[in-house]
Amino acid sequence: MFRMTTLARAAAIAVVALTGTVAFEAPASAKTVMVGGAPMYPSKNIIENAVNSKDHTTLVAAVKAAGLVDTLSGPGPFTVFAPTNEAFAKLPAGTVDTLVMPANKKMLTSILTYHVIPGRVTAADIMAAAKKMGGKAEYKTVNGETLTFMVKGKSITIVDAKGDKAKITIPNVMQSNGVIHVINTVLLPG
């Protein structure tokens, strides 16, 4: 298992310094959800919330290295499938350290934008789309490739272009500029 604590801390500090507040009126159904030991407030944007999650320090560092802080702080809306630190730890040793190098920014950006769907797509939306299509739904990501969602009961599994599977472990973490679904595996484009 690899650790990026120094880089993650530096990224978190930089992200906090770069983000602004986005005005948002949370719908009555939006609740504050705990992720990584921190409250995720529906009135804050994706970056403002993500920097507080102890489970997402690697993701925050990667977002900073890819130069996506301003985008994910913007109005959106975005649906982000947020891999945990444990999800990143499943990658081969040294992968994350290599990806955050400036020379690999294009590849890192491609991977991160593969975790983002335009719009605010809730778990209920995914389930409804899958129901119409016999248990599977597809959504085009910001990087242009497609993710496949398989629904069984109340469980949603995402299949990436390589055939790897991620489960949504915490759905519907509402943000002022979208929604986050926490996942347990990093998704890789084709």
On the question of pLDDT at 29 being above 80, the answer is no
- Using one digit for the tens of pLDDT, what is the confidence trace for 107-120? 999 999 999 999 99
Q: What pLDDT, on the 0 to 100 scale, is given for residue 128?
A: 95
Q: Which residues contact 70 (CB under 8 A, 6 or more apart)?
A: 18
Per DSSP (E only), the strands in 26-159 are 33-35, 38-40, 78-83, 116-118, 136-140, 146-152, 155-159
Q: How far apart are the C-alpha atoms of 12 and 6, rounded to whole Å? A: 10
Mean pLDDT of 168-172: 95
User: Which has the closest alpha carbon to 71: 49, 51, 47?
Assistant: 47
Q: What is the pTM of this model?
A: 0.83
Q: Packing angle between helix 57-66 and helix 105-113, nearest 10 degrees?
A: 120
